[in-house]
Copies of this chain bind each other. A is one copy, B any other.
Amino acid sequence: MREETIQLDHGSGGRAMHALVERVFARAFANDFLQELNDSAILPPASGRLAMTTDSYVVDPIVFPGGDIGSLAVHGTVNDLAVSGARPLYLTAGFVLEEGLPMAVLDRIVSSMAEAAREASVLIVAGDTKVVPRGKADKIFINTAGIGVVRDDVRLGGGNARPGDVVLINGTIGDHGMAVLCRREGIAMESEILSDSASLNHLIEAMLGAFPGIHVLRDPTRGGVATTLNEIACQSGVGIRLHEEALPVREDVAGVCELLGLDPLYVANEGKVLAVVPAESADVVLEAMRRSPRGRDACRIGEVVAEEPGRVFLRTRIGGHRLLDMLRGEQLPRIC
């Protein structure tokens, strides 16, 4: 009979763990590299520069409107590779499970990871399974690491923004953070806010295909758009000016944010990309974005300036200027 919850011996390295790996993980992630179940996956030679990244995921709740910790763990790592100009190829997945986690929950999360990996055309080639006693972790934490091959023709980096460049985004901001928060706090809405959690590699391929000379790409995850633009402003030694009336925010997201005293500019996204591009190429990049399913609502939100290097400003609707510092304090813990 099938056990119904995760037990300590599922992390023992012995028979129960091997059975779990074969029955749950290897079956869902099914590919020739993982299937060998050796100490490392052996992968074919890759030509070109490599990109390598990692993120751990501790989101609470583990299932939220629009996604779950499994799909999120694939999207987030795929996106960190994609915004680096890489074609994401291979992921690893490390699981820390809490004793007592229902097997049905694990199954769901693993299927969702497998589905997200298929959608992004990446393979999960190696994994690890640890189990800690009840109360020593919270249900499930997942780490993914990823590698990809960097396009030869791109030179992306947070330090490449130049005065005169414009700032583009592929859609509304704050959706992921507010979807997770509303579910966690039991805030009921007329129509539920959905996370934007999604892989952006196909969108980004289209953008770089349209104009390989994009200066910066970055996914505004924890800390939101304001914090990510602060990173870019610092790394590039430039100022960045946003236009309040140009910022795409869903009405319901704006509503809940106001209610809770949050600013959508500081709320995490998991399916958004910021692009800093030379002004003369902005339209060609925007058009490419809008032709892609994840970029339909793409728009211009601001520009890079020489003044106030290292700082980000918001030009408000009434024409004022507000400094947008990096996020201070912990606005929303365990959001990804």
Residues of A within 8 A of B (CB): 7-9, 11-18, 36-58, 60, 79-81, 83-84, 86, 90, 92-96, 125-128, 130-133, 135-138, 141, 143, 145-148, 150, 156-159, 218-219, 221-224, 227, 231, 235, 266, 268, 325-331, 333-334
Chain A at the B interface: SS class: mixed
Which residues of B lie under 8 Å from residue A135 when comparing CB positions? 135
Number of copies of this kind of chain in the complex: 2
Q: Are B331 and A12 in contact (CB under 8 A)?
A: yes
Which residues of B lie under 8 Å from residue A38 when comparing CB positions? 84, 156-158
Partner of A223, one of B12, B92, B125, B157: B12
Given contact pairs A13-B221, A36-B157, A126-B145, a sample of 7 additional A-B residue pairs in the complex whose CB atoms are under 8 Å apart: A12-B329, A16-B328, A37-B231, A39-B84, A40-B148, A54-B93, A131-B333
Q: Are A56 and B136 in contact (CB under 8 A)?
A: no
Which residues of B lie under 8 Å from residue A96 when comparing CB positions? 56, 58, 96, 141
Q: Provide the bound-state CA to CA distance between A147 and B46, in Å.
A: 12
Q: Are B56 and A49 in contact (CB under 8 A)?
A: no
Which residues of B lie under 8 Å from residue A127 when comparing CB positions? 54
Which residues of B lie under 8 Å from residue A94 when comparing CB positions? 54-56, 94, 143, 145
Q: Provide the bound-state CA to CA distance between A141 and B148, in Å.
A: 26
A122 vs chain B, min Cβ distance (A)? 12
Closest to A332 in B: B12
